[in-house]
A and B are shown apart, each in its own frame.
Chain A
Amino acid sequence: MILLSVGTQFPFDRLVRLVDDWAFAQGRTDVMAQVGPSKLHVRAVKPFGLVSPSEFRDLQASAQVTISHAGMGSILTALECGKPIIVMPRDHQRGEHRNDHQVATARKLEHTPGVYVAWDDAQLLDYLGRLHELAGATGASAKAPEAFTLQLKSFIRTG
Chain B
Amino acid sequence: MRERQLPQAPAVRPRRVLLVASAGGHWIQLCRLSPAVEDEDALYVTTLDGARTPSGERPVAVVRDASRSDPLSFVQLIAQLVGIFARFRPEVVITTGAAPGLMALMLGRILGARTVWIDSVANCERLSLSGRLAKGWASLRLTQWPEVAENTPQLDYYGSVL
User: Would you give the 0/1 interface string for B5-27, flagging 1 where the beta carbon is closer than 8 Å to chain A?
Assistant: 00000001001010000011111
User: With A71-B24, A144-B159, A144-B161 known to touch, is A52 a contact of B50 (CB < 8 Å)?
Assistant: yes
User: Would you give the 0/1 interface string for A6-18, flagging 1 where the beta carbon is closer than 8 Å to chain B?
Assistant: 0110000000000
User: Would you give the 0/1 interface string for B25-46, flagging 1 where the beta carbon is closer than 8 Å to chain A?
Assistant: 1111101111111011000001
Bound Cα distance A15, B48 (Å) = 25
User: Would you give the 0/1 interface string for B92-123, flagging 1 where the beta carbon is closer than 8 Å to chain A?
Assistant: 10100000000000000000001010001111
User: With A76-B32, A149-B35, A152-B116 known to touch, is A54 a contact of B50 (CB < 8 Å)?
Assistant: yes
Q: Does A155 contact B (CB under 8 A)?
A: yes
Q: A73 contacts B28, CB within 8 Å?
A: yes
Secondary structure dominating the interface of B: loop
Q: Does A145 contact B (CB under 8 A)?
A: yes
Q: A104 contacts B125, CB within 8 Å?
A: yes
Bound Cα distance A149, B30 (Å) = 11
Q: B29 contacts A142, CB within 8 Å?
A: no
Q: Size of chain B's interface in residues, with CB distance under 8 A?
A: 44
- Return 28 A-B CB contacts under 8 Å, by A number: A52-B50, A53-B27, A53-B52, A54-B51, A72-B24, A73-B24, A73-B27, A73-B28, A74-B25, A76-B28, A76-B161, A101-B122, A104-B124, A104-B125, A108-B145, A142-B32, A143-B32, A143-B54, A144-B32, A144-B33, A145-B159, A146-B35, A147-B158, A148-B36, A148-B158, A153-B39, A156-B37, A157-B12
Q: A76 contacts B29, CB within 8 Å?
A: yes
Bound Cα distance A159, B40 (Å) = 13
Interface members, chain A 8-53 (any B CB < 8 Å): 8, 52-53
Interface size class, chain A:
35 or more
8 Å CB contact of B34 from A8, A71, A108, A143:
A143
Interface residues of A (CB under 8 A from B): 7-8, 52-55, 70-77, 79-80, 101-102, 104-105, 108, 112, 142-153, 155-157, 159
Q: Which residue of A lies closest to B30 (CB)?
A: A144
Q: B50 contacts A55, CB within 8 Å?
A: yes
Interface residues of B (CB under 8 A from A): 12, 15, 17, 23-29, 31-37, 39-40, 46, 48-52, 54, 91-92, 94, 114, 116, 120-125, 140, 145, 158-162
Most buried by B among A55, A79, A105, A149: A149
* Whole-angstrom distance between the Cβ of B140 and the nearest chain A Cβ: 6
Bound Cα distance A156, B24 (Å) = 25
User: With A72-B28, A76-B25 known to touch, is A152 a contact of B33 (CB < 8 Å)?
Assistant: yes
Bound Cα distance A75, B162 (Å) = 10
Q: A79 contacts B162, CB within 8 Å?
A: yes
Which residues on A sit within 8 Å (CB–CB) of B121?
Answer: 72, 105
Q: Which residue of B lies closest to A75 (CB)?
A: B25
Which residues on A sit within 8 Å (CB–CB) of B15?
Answer: 156-157, 159
